[in-house]
Structure 1
Amino acid sequence: MADHKKMALALAILCFLCGNAFLPSSASSDSFLQCLSTVIPSNLVFTQSSSSFTSVLQSSVQNPKFITNTTVRPLCIITASDVSHVQSAVRCGRANGVRLRVRSGGHDYEGLSYRSVQPEVFAVVDLARLRGVQLNPGEASAWVDAGTTLGELYYAIGTTNPGFLFPGGACATVGVSGFISGGGIGIMMRKYGVGGDNVLDAKIVNANGDLLDRAAMGEDVFWAIRGGGGESFGVVVAWRLKLSPVPPTVTVVNTLRTLDQGAVDLVAKWESTILSPLNVPDLTIRVVVQNTVAIFQTLYLGRCTDLLNTLRNVFPELGMTAADCNELTWLRAMAFVYFGNTNTPVEGLLNRTNNVGDHYFKATSDYVRRAVGSAGWSSLYQQWLSKNNNGQMILEPHGGAVGGANTNTTSPYPHRRGVLFNIQYGSNWCCDANGTMAAAGLAWLKGIYGFMEPFVTSNPREAFANYRDLDLGQNVIGKDGLSSYWSGRVWAERYFMGNYRRLAAAKAMADPTDYFRNEQSIPPLPK
């Protein structure tokens, strides 16, 4: 396979990747729907009997394995077009014993924003209609509606306020709200921190249906919503984001190297230079390792000449030349990162459809604090990566503003000082959810995850909340009808580490009856 075809394939797969227990009955379901009908326009509520129910449910599903008859589907979908609709849905739900799940971009890896693992009656509040960006030229902040995607945010900033950026992720169809709620790692975090570090204010609908800003919700809850996971503290409907300066020209490069071209030694050299000496915050090189190749995805906040001078000193083995560079505006660079070419118009970032087709996938994550080394990477390629064309690892470098000596730690994202990089493992297959291909894909993922155990963190084996994985554990509902804090530790201390108790305390303040919950939501701290 030609190098450019290998790169295109890898990039395509890359983006894949109450104090009272509720006992809802058919009567409570009917009364809930009746309540909605009096406060929300009927054309915004889609029940299971609606001819459009399935198409609305599937409209932002990013993993088709959850579109099956075995998935627990919502009683209805509320496509809120105004904040008042969210408030009404919460009040009707609380009054009638129907819980809500909230969806923005639909990239939740376990689909918990629109499905339930256990049988229960619930409704989905879909925020896709609540999207918009309010910003003014020259101002270093923007109000962003919760249903906005990262691509829509990048386009709004790049066309209206081109001297600024928001340090988001590489995938344009990810929802801004989900990105921030899980912490938000991205390709500019070494310069500006994770997404949750860049929030100035927010508006949230609490479990009483009240709309609160930062001052009203309090600093503990404001801290918690910026990385403590979605659907735990309420429904965030808008974020005021801090924007950061960006030069007129940035440089992006995709460099593909095969095993025959020294991919193993290059990945080993890359990981040894992340914190020192390649501790240049303006430079990010993330790596995708797959099959027999490694793709080095470079973003430099400056011109090609300066990038090449830096790499010549610390990473000459990569062999980057001026001919490899793409000097672009930040907006066009983000389009390049997502699409993998300079030909797709930036308007493509406005497309909310991920076009995953019939490929199913499963993902999980790790953190690395000491280099894997050439021998480890060589074994990894030989035993695992080369055996699966549809499996990959995405390596996100840390350090700088996200993990350096002067790191700002005012949001719950805990994987900071001493972390070399995050790993996202992904396996995809076609074209059935539970057949032979699925079994093979899942077995490969389990195998490579087991292989990496000696190389990654332990006690706990750290994981990233935005790469949600139910295999790490699920909430247990106690006799009091609340999610158990103690059972939640099994999975939550891997995502949040020492911040878990503080998050549970914030949950007890914001939602003591545990109305907003799913299989991996923060439980309230016991009294």
Structure 2
Amino acid sequence: MTDQSWSSSSRSRTRLGDPRLGRRLLGILDVSSVFEDIAFSCALNMACEILQLELGNMNLRLFGSPESFMDKQAHESDRLRQVIEKEMLKVEVWGFTLKGIAYSSTTTIFTNQGIDGFLECLAVNFDQYGKIEVYAPKDASYMKILQSAIRNDRFKSPETPKPLLIVTPRHESQVQATVNCSRKHGMQIRVRSGGHDFEGLSYTSPLLVPFVMIDLANLRAIDVDIEDNSAWVQAGATIGELYYRIAMESPIHGFPAGFVTSIGVGGHFSVGGYGAMMRKYGLAADNVVDARLVNVNGEILYRDTMGEDLFWAIRGGGASSFGVILAFKIKLVQVPPVLTVSKLTIKQGALEIIQRWQHIAIYEVPKELFIQVQISRTKFRRNLQAELQIMFLGPSEELMHIMEEKFPQLRIKKNDCMEMSWIESVLLFAEFPKTAPLDVLLNRTTERDIALKVKSDFVTTPLSKREFRKIFNKFLEEKQFVAVLSPWGGRMHEISDDEIAFPHRAGNMYAITYASLWSDEEGAQASQEHVKWVREMYNYMSPYVSKSPRASYIGIRDLDLGFYKINTTPTYSEARIWGGKYFKGNFDKLVKVKSEVDPSNFFGDDQSIPPMT
């Protein structure tokens, strides 16, 4: 709050517990003008009754008696300060809240009294937790913060349901306070670390349920311990920030996680997290050795205090169903000082090469070699483009020898191979410009504004050349899309299905991700057409992918698989529909863990693990 005149056009960020809160009201000589300004702000909102009445009473007491104004003002200020701190944010929040409840048509316990209690609860805990930054929809910074980590333009429209409040904790204790106050006053929460949930569930609610968003962007400390071959990384850090910090400490250490460097650690590690080193070292979640989590009681737990079942669940099962991840302790892996990378565009014989790739890349080459296929089409290119993306944890001469023996059809040449450090390969796979400095990995924003719909599958039996031709012809129906075929094998086949909650191990040859991409400027009708094509593509792929169940990766969230009905209690039978696809045989254990640690389903969303009722 600033000292400038208080008006709706000049509202700025408000901090609960800030001693300056209401200073304009307490120190001003003309209390009447302040009352009029606030009354105007909430003229259409009966929720401001308390504040209006209190200010009106103060006005009468100050000017309706012969006592000295200054003496009387001092007498009233302490009591009024309490009212203001409790009520002020309701001026900003309640109008939106009432609209949200009316719009959602839900029978929710979320009431004006709930907001009142929540804000009062945070304010009361000021001495213990410090200044907690809370943003309401009318705050100037609200939309900037909300959109800072919306990675899918499908959810930037004005119609998209938005948080009632955004809390941006700067200390882990403030996450505890937010959880405690939310639970106490019946407020649902969503937690965002990087914002890459493909259905936007960390910052929106398709079910139109009012919620508070905890944005963890300020909690991104990284402590690398090379001697211990480990690192603690807070949930709000991106994997790009983690990669950079590791590389700054050692040229021979790395970590096996994803390609998109703006992904948040909290979400990525908790759903699995795969990338170019998974055949050698497994998933990101396979290399998590400890965690720090806020549970439903607002307690901070470590592995030894949360128990092995909960620790199992938050590695691959999606931590948002069980608590708020604050940080992970990870085991660093060894990388050579120099490795080899190649990107080969297949200009001829793509069908034959990809058909051969299924056998070679999964079963015949060493686990140090990762060969991924990307098939794409843009609006500027009529035909499909197939590219092999290769990373080998070794020198180019050794890669050449392996490829000549195992995959001679590629005819890979020496000048196709680039030797570089592991951290340089991160930049290449993330498609940064060749001249980009390493510290570009510290940039949390993305340059591309794009809308997309994504789905995933797993292939368990090899496809024929004829089947690939039919699939490629189906791809040609979409103007702009990308399909990625990521090879399993190696370490991914050595780890059992139930070692952690991520179940997709031996028996899977490769994962397929397919996405349609478009600009939001194309309009609503075009958006519907793109989404329709992805759904049709998914249905078309049914004969060629896993069955009973048809598996999907929770890291590529897909609400088309199902979600809870509005105004109903989440049930096992509902959740089994999509939970069986995401978690296969591990779903029942996840339900058991949920029932033990969060039986009231406080940590719930549209596809969360349900407690057994």
TM-score normalised to structure 1 length: 0.91
Residue 549 (structure 2) aligns with:
460
Report the residue type matching 1:35 in the other structure: C
Residue 595 (structure 2) aligns with:
508
2:252 is aligned, of 126, 149, 163, to 163
Structure 1 residue 257, shift from structure 2 partner: 1.5
Residues 334-353 of structure 1: pairs in structure 2 closer than 5 A: 334-339=426-431, 341-353=433-445
Structure 1 residue 478, shift from structure 2 partner: 8.3
In the alignment, structure 1 residue 299 sits paired with structure 2 residue 391: yes
Q: Tell me the distance in 2 between the aligned counterparts of 1:86 and 1:276.
A: 45
Structure 1 residue 408, shift from structure 2 partner: 7.9
Residues 327-476 of structure 1: pairs in structure 2 closer than 5 A: 327-339=419-431, 341-357=433-449, 359-382=450-473, 384-404=474-494, 407=496, 409-432=498-521, 435-476=524-565
Report the residue type matching 2:179 in the other structure: V
Deviation string 1:257-306 (CA, Å, 9 cap, x unpaired) is 23xx111111111112233223x110001111123111111011011111
Deviation string 1:133-169 (CA, Å, 9 cap, x unpaired) is 1012333111011101010010011111322111001
Aligned pair in 2 of structure 1 residues 455, 338: CA closer, same or farther (>3 Å)?
A: same
Structure 1 residue 318, shift from structure 2 partner: 1.5
Residue 215 (structure 1) aligns with:
304
Aligned pair in 2 of structure 1 residues 234, 64: CA closer, same or farther (>3 Å)?
A: same
Q: Does structure 1 retain, via aligned residues, the 8 Å contact 2:122–2:132?
A: no
Aligned pair in 2 of structure 1 residues 377, 418: CA closer, same or farther (>3 Å)?
A: same
Q: Tell me the distance in 2 between the aligned counterparts of 1:283 and 1:342.
A: 23
RMSD: 1.7
Structure 2: runs of 5 or more not aligned: 1-106, 378-383
Residues 251-270 of structure 1: pairs in structure 2 closer than 5 A: 251-258=340-347, 261-270=348-357
1:172 is aligned, of 243, 255, 261, to 261
Q: Tell me the distance in 2 between the aligned counterparts of 1:121 and 1:433.
A: 29
Report the residue type matching 2:597 in the other structure: A
Q: Tell me the distance in 2 between the aligned counterparts of 1:287 and 1:340.
A: 19
Q: Tell me the distance in 1 between the aligned counterparts of 2:561 and 2:407.
A: 37
Structure 1: runs of 5 or more not aligned: 1-20
Larger helix proportion of the pair: 2
Residue 72 (structure 1) aligns with:
161
In the alignment, structure 1 residue 23 sits paired with structure 2 residue 109: yes
Q: Does structure 2 retain, via aligned residues, the 8 Å contact 1:249–1:303?
A: yes
Structure 1 residue 180, shift from structure 2 partner: 1.0
Q: Does structure 2 retain, via aligned residues, the 8 Å contact 1:477–1:484?
A: no
In the alignment, structure 1 residue 250 sits paired with structure 2 residue 339: yes
Residue 311 (structure 1) aligns with:
403
Q: Tell me the distance in 1 between the aligned counterparts of 2:212 and 2:246.
A: 33
Determine helix, strand or coil for the equivalent of 1:308.
helix
2:361 is aligned, of 274, 278, 283, to 274
Structure 1 residue 371, shift from structure 2 partner: 1.1
Determine helix, strand or coil for the equivalent of 1:220.
helix
Structure 1 residue 324, shift from structure 2 partner: 1.2
Q: Tell me the distance in 1 between the aligned counterparts of 2:269 and 2:318.
A: 9
Aligned pair in 2 of structure 1 residues 506, 22: CA closer, same or farther (>3 Å)?
A: farther
Q: Tell me the distance in 2 between the aligned counterparts of 1:53 and 1:309.
A: 56
Residue 286 (structure 1) aligns with:
372
Q: Does structure 2 retain, via aligned residues, the 8 Å contact 1:308–1:320?
A: yes
1:321 is aligned, of 413, 425, 438, to 413
Q: Tell me the distance in 1 between the aligned counterparts of 2:485 and 2:429.
A: 15
Report the residue type matching 2:499 in the other structure: T
Count of residues in Structure 1 that have an aligned counterpart in Structure 2 = 498
Q: Tell me the distance in 2 between the aligned counterparts of 1:132 and 1:76.
A: 24
Residue 485 (structure 1) aligns with:
572
Aligned pair in 2 of structure 1 residues 240, 512: CA closer, same or farther (>3 Å)?
A: same
Determine helix, strand or coil for the equivalent of 2:345.
strand
Higher gyration radius (CA): 2
Structure 1 residue 387, shift from structure 2 partner: 3.0
Q: Tell me the distance in 2 between the aligned counterparts of 1:207 and 1:117.
A: 23
Q: Does structure 1 retain, via aligned residues, the 8 Å contact 2:207–2:566?
A: no
Structure 1 residue 171, shift from structure 2 partner: 0.7
Q: Does structure 1 retain, via aligned residues, the 8 Å contact 2:170–2:218?
A: yes
Determine helix, strand or coil for the equivalent of 2:520.
coil
Q: Does structure 2 retain, via aligned residues, the 8 Å contact 1:133–1:144?
A: yes
Q: Does structure 2 retain, via aligned residues, the 8 Å contact 1:146–1:176?
A: yes
Q: Tell me the distance in 2 between the aligned counterparts of 1:476 and 1:162.
A: 50
Q: Tell me the distance in 2 between the aligned counterparts of 1:302 and 1:400.
A: 16
Aligned pair in 2 of structure 1 residues 204, 110: CA closer, same or farther (>3 Å)?
A: same
Q: Does structure 2 retain, via aligned residues, the 8 Å contact 1:65–1:433?
A: no
